[in-house]
């Protein structure tokens, strides 16, 4: 049978009229056991990576977008709007195209990765670049969405988080239980909440014997939850989590506390080192924001956080191809040589 996408796969959790379903067959992403990171950093754990960059538009945002857009279509809506650090706009534009409705996306000028901007554009969204940051863009679209007929699809839309909880369902199905820990990057802080709700749901239904401790990581230059204050000018190379006033701030704090986990921060250097490491020792190219979870894991392991033998899942939230500039900037330049065997051999190392 063809995999039908998240809404039909998890119908009882995501109710919507069948004729309103808008899907790109998102979800069912691979959960990989990491051998490379475990070896390189001597991690005393069993580590699994949830590859959310393999969703149709290259990030986990598709899980929430399929449901938010389907519910919007069910209501007869003709337009959706969002603010975005990039991936929400890419996803909203694609699902709106699939649904045949209009998408308007508002992004911070010059602050989003080129791959993400290109996605919103090719899917035919109306793109606005505001001279301001994500938090200011969100304030603008919130106001506009108060008008009739236009639906906000940022993660304050409750359907987004309901869709995103399916990632936790898939992990429990793959492992046969919830992991001991779940490590995840935190930006607007919706995903950490969605995962925990998903795990809790399966736990309550007896599909999992435990719930994981949720461990979230913000970038040090945009760590409002950790520092307990709004950051007016958030800065980090991890543009997808460059958010100074997260919409799901309180729920995320509660989830961290209730699960026995925490929200901490990692420096940009740690993020980039983790980003490079997972690409080089495990073969997975994620975007810098995704690597915040791995950077956090490495940091905690160094502090002696793990007793040994724990099962840990780390979400890699988005695909590395969205932001190739970062990869190129970190890597050695390609050799430029004459098109002769000797010229190549001269530079070749084994």
Ligand X SMILES: *Cc1c(COP(=O)(O)O)cnc(C)c1O
| Cα 184–chain centre separation | 8
Q: Of these, 191, 245, 259, 326, which contacts ligand X (CB under 6 A)?
A: 191
**Alpha helix ranges (H) inside 245-340:** 249-259, 268-277, 291-302, 324-330
Sheet holding 150-152, edge to edge: 126-130, 102-108, 79-83, 150-152
Q: How far is the CB of 115 from ligand X (least distance, A)?
A: 11
Q: Which is nearer to ligand X, 21 or 326 (CB)?
A: 326
Q: Which is nearer to ligand X, 61 or 211 (CB)?
A: 61
Lay out the site mask for ligand X across 296-325 (x = CB under 6 A, - = otherwise). ---------------------xx-------
Sign of CA dihedral 21, 24, 28, 34: negative
Q: Of these, 57, 70, 87, 200, which contacts ligand X (CB under 6 A)?
A: 87
- In this structure, are residues 230 and 224 in contact, taking their beta carbons and an 8 Å threshold? yes
User: Tokens at residue 346, please?
Assistant: 């001269």
Q: How far is the CB of 318 from ligand X (least distance, A)?
A: 3
Torsion region of 130: left, alpha or beta (phi above 0 gives left; psi -120 to 50 gives alpha): beta
Q: Which of residues 151-190 bind ligand X (CB under 6 A)?
A: 155, 185-190
User: Tokens at residue 263, please?
Assistant: 């929200």
According to the binding rule CB under 6 A, does residue 198 interact with ligand X? no
Please, is 336 exposed, middle or buried when counting C-beta atoms within 10 Å of its C-beta (0-12, 13-18, 19+)?
exposed
- Applying CB under 6 A, which part among 28-36, 104-112, 287-295, 326-334 lies near ligand X? 287-295
Lay out the site mask for ligand X across 40-79 (x = CB under 6 A, - = otherwise). -------------------x-x------------------
Q: How far is the CB of 22 from ligand X (least distance, A)?
A: 20
Torsion region of 262: left, alpha or beta (phi above 0 gives left; psi -120 to 50 gives alpha): beta
Q: How far is the CB of 289 from ligand X (least distance, A)?
A: 4
Phi, psi of 44 (to 5 degrees): -85, 35
Q: Which is nearer to ligand X, 172 or 186 (CB)?
A: 186
Q: Which of residues 232-251 bind ligand X (CB under 6 A)?
A: 240-241
Q: What is the CA radius of gyration of the chain?
A: 20
- In this structure, are residues 64 and 90 in contact, taking their beta carbons and an 8 Å threshold? no
Lay out the site mask for ligand X across 93-132 (x = CB under 6 A, - = otherwise). ----------------------------------------
Q: Point out which residues pair with 152 in neighbouring strands.
A: 81
Q: Of these, 62, 170, 287, 323, which contacts ligand X (CB under 6 A)?
A: 287
Question: Which residues are at the interface with ligand X (CB under 6 A)?
Answer: 59, 61, 87, 155, 185-191, 240-241, 287, 289-290, 317-318
């Amino acid at each position: 049978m063809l995999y039908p996408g998240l809404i039909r796969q998890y119908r009882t959790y995501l109710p919507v009229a069948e004729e309103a379903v808008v899907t790109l067959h998102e979800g069912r992403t691979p959960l990989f056991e990491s051998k490379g990171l475990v070896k390189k950093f001597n991690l005393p754990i069993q580590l699994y990576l949830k590859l959310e960059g393999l969703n149709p538009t290259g990030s986990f945002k598709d899980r929430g977008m399929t449901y938010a857009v389907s519910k919007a279509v069910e209501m007869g809506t003709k337009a959706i709007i969002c603010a975005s650090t990039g991936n929400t706009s890419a996803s909203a534009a694609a699902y709106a195209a699939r649904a045949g409705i209009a998408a308007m996306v508002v992004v911070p000028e010059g602050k989003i990765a080129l791959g993400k901007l290109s996605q919103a554009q090719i899917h035919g969204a109306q793109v606005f670049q505001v001279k301001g940051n994500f938090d200011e863009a969100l304030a603008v679209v919130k106001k506009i969405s108060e008008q009739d007929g236009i639906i906000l699809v940022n993660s304050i839309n409750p359907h987004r988080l309901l869709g995103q909880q399916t990632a936790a369902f898939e992990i429990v199905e793959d492992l046969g239980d919830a992991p001991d820990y779940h490590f995840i990057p935190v930006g607007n802080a919706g995903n950490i909440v969605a995962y925990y709700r998903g795990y809790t749901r399966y736990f309550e239904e007896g599909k999992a014997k435990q719930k994981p401790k949720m461990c979230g990581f913000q970038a040090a230059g945009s760590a409002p939850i950790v520092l307990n204050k709004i950051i007016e000018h958030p800065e980090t190379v991890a543009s997808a989590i460059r958010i100074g006033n997260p919409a799901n701030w309180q729920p995320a704090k509660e989830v961290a506390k209730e699960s026995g986990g925490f929200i901490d921060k990692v420096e940009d250097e740690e993020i980039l080192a983790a980003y490079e490491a997972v690409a080089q020792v495990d073969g997975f190219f994620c975007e810098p924001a995704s690597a915040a979870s791995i950077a956090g894991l490495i940091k905690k392991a160094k502090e002696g956080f793990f007793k040994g033998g724990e099962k840990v899942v780390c979400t890699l939230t988005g695909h590395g191809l969205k932001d190739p500039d970062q990869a190129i900037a970190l890597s050695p330049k390609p050799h430029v040589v004459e098109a002769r065997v000797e010229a190549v051999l001269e530079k070749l190392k084994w």
